[in-house]
Amino acid sequence: MAAAMGSALLLMVVRFSRGKKANAAREAELTSVEADLSALHAAILPLAERDAQGFEPVAAAYGLPRATPAEQAAREAAIRAGLVEAMVVPFESLRLIQRALATVLPVADCANRSIVSDLAAGATLLRAAAEIALLNLRINVSLAGEGDDVLASARSMREDVVRQHAALCAAADRLLAPG
């Protein structure tokens, strides 16, 4: 939900920046960014529901019988498989968050001063969502005992998100500076 709110704020900033005299020379770039960001936002919107649904097999596996060694083994295998599958949405979330921030970064300086707080707020919500996605991946990898490669890739994406967030907040600060 944080990613959906963050991407919606960034999309609003881009839409509000289009058609302004100060951005006339960059209208085509803003139009392209709006289209790309709109598609990313549409992909982000269903992630919360997909994440909840993705954990259902894990919850069901924890309820499996475990009276015999065979049942215990089947239960553990089902839990592990469910946890691995539950990594898909947080990983995809990170990927989409990273792309959304990268998409808006080149046009951040087009944001109107009256909406620049939404630029920083959207970036901050996306960074928070990235941190949450990474936490979810870390716990799933820890419990499943596998997925270290996924976690390494996710950490790299999160570091990129941190850099992009810092750059967008710096752009907001520049736009808010007097003069």
On average, the pLDDT of the chain sits at 96
C-beta of residue 119 within 8 angstroms of C-beta of residue 168: yes
Closest CA to 127 of 90, 163, 152: 163
DSSP letter at 64?
S
pLDDT bin (cut points 50, 70, 90) of residue 178 is confident
pTM: predicted TM-score of the whole model, two decimal places: 0.94
